[in-house]
């Protein structure tokens, strides 16, 4: 049997990743139909790819419920990724202190391609609070952290975000948001990604000065007005250099130039 051509191989890998990305915290069991539909992959192709992933221990199949779920093989990769991207205790200590002071949730984001991903999160102390999952992939076309992370993104990524904003009639441009956040030294948002949610973000730099991420307070818009935005931004700007100084340059530098 002839070896698959590179385009075919790449397409198969992309489809496998699309199927894997269907799973999320709270969504760890899906039927074949659900997976194929969500990943936009033909059912016959999904069956073949899921079979290959099962053979590698990356996907599990329950014959009684006829559902698929992440396999035990992911435990190894979760440990590897946790070691690679997990932040030092000193960083989470600072984040916990910030939450104790203001009561709102705080997150540390990095950019990965066209997405932003939280590598650390401490939920707020309020009953109504903003909670996200570490490792969750989110759009770069909404949210205060996006405009911080896009400050040093390649032009082609910024342009894709611009197209996304135009397509949905956002009423603002990425250029406007980026320029404003650069000028002010922080970014704020209200209801951009999710109705009723506000965010305040500042840039985090590695010890050598290269920007690596965005430190963000998030909470209900009812609790985060103009006064809180200013206060939160000032506090984030105070602790961001200390957090950046705790991040290992070699470990996190890839987040500064992911295309």
pLDDT at residue 5 greater than cutoff 70: no
Task: Report the percentage of the chain scoring pLDDT > 90.
Answer: 81
Residues facing 105 on adjacent strands: 218
Query: Who has greater pLDDT, 176 or 135?
Result: 176
Cα angle for residues 33, 28, 144 (degrees, 5° grid): 105
pLDDT at residue 148 greater than cutoff 90: yes
CA dist 95 and 81 (Å) reads 21
Backbone angles phi, psi at 47, to 5 degrees: -60, -45
Q: Judge contact between 236 and 131, C-beta under 8 A.
A: no
137-139 and 30-31 strand pairing? unpaired
The tens digit of pLDDT for each residue in 155-176 reads: 999 999 999 999 999 999 999 9
- Determine the pLDDT at residue 95: 98
Residue 254: which pLDDT band, with cuts at 50, 70 and 90?
low
- Determine the pLDDT at residue 65: 96
Tell me the C-alpha to C-alpha distance, in Å, between residue 20 and each of 16, 38, 81: 6, 10, 16
- Determine the pLDDT at residue 239: 98
Question: To the nearest whole number, what is the mean pLDDT of the chain?
Answer: 92
| Sequence-distant (≥ 6) Cβ neighbours of residue 250 within 8 angstroms | none
The tens digit of pLDDT for each residue in 198-210 reads: 999 999 999 888 9
The tens digit of pLDDT for each residue in 43-97 reads: 999 999 999 999 999 999 999 999 999 999 999 998 898 888 889 999 999 999 9
The structure tokens listed for 88 are: 């030092």
- Mean predicted confidence (pLDDT) in 131-141: 90
Q: How far apart are the first and last CA of the chain?
A: 35
- Determine the pLDDT at residue 1: 43
Cα angle for residues 98, 104, 109 (degrees, 5° grid): 75
All domains of the chain in start order, with CATH: 6-74 (1.10.10.10), 86-256 (3.30.450.40)
- Mean predicted confidence (pLDDT) in 243-259: 72
């Amino acid at each position: 049997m002839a070896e698959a051509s590179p385009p075919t191989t790449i397409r198969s890998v992309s489809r496998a990743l699309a199927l894997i990305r269907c799973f999320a915290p709270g969504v760890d069991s899906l039927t074949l139909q659900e997976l194929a539909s969500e990943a936009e992959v033909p059912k016959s192709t999904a069956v073949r790819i899921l079979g290959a992933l099962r053979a590698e221990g990356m996907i599990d199949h329950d014959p009684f419920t006829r559902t698929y779920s992440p396999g035990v093989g992911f435990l190894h990769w979760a440990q590897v990724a946790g070691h690679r991207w997990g932040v030092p205790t000193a960083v989470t200590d600072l984040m916990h202190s910030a939450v104790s002071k203001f009561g709102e949730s705080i997150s540390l984001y990095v950019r990965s391609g066209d997405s932003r991903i939280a590598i650390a999160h401490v939920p707020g102390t309020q009953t109504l609070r903003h909670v996200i999952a570490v490792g969750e992939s989110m759009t770069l076309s909404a949210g205060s952290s996006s405009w911080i992370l896009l400050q040093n993104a390649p032009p082609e990524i910024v342009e894709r975000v611009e197209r996304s904003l135009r397509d949905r009639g956002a009423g603002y441009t990425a250029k406007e948001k980026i320029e404003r956040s650069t000028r002010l030294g922080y970014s704020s948002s209200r209801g951009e990604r999710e109705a009723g949610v506000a965010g305040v973000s500042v840039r985090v730099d590695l010890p050598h000065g290269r920007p690596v991420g965005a430190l963000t307070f998030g909470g209900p818009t009812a609790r985060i007005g103009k006064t809180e935005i200013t206060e939160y931004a000032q506090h984030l700007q105070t602790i961001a250099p200390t957090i950046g100084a705790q991040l290992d340059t070699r470990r996190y530098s890839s987040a500064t130039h992911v295309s």
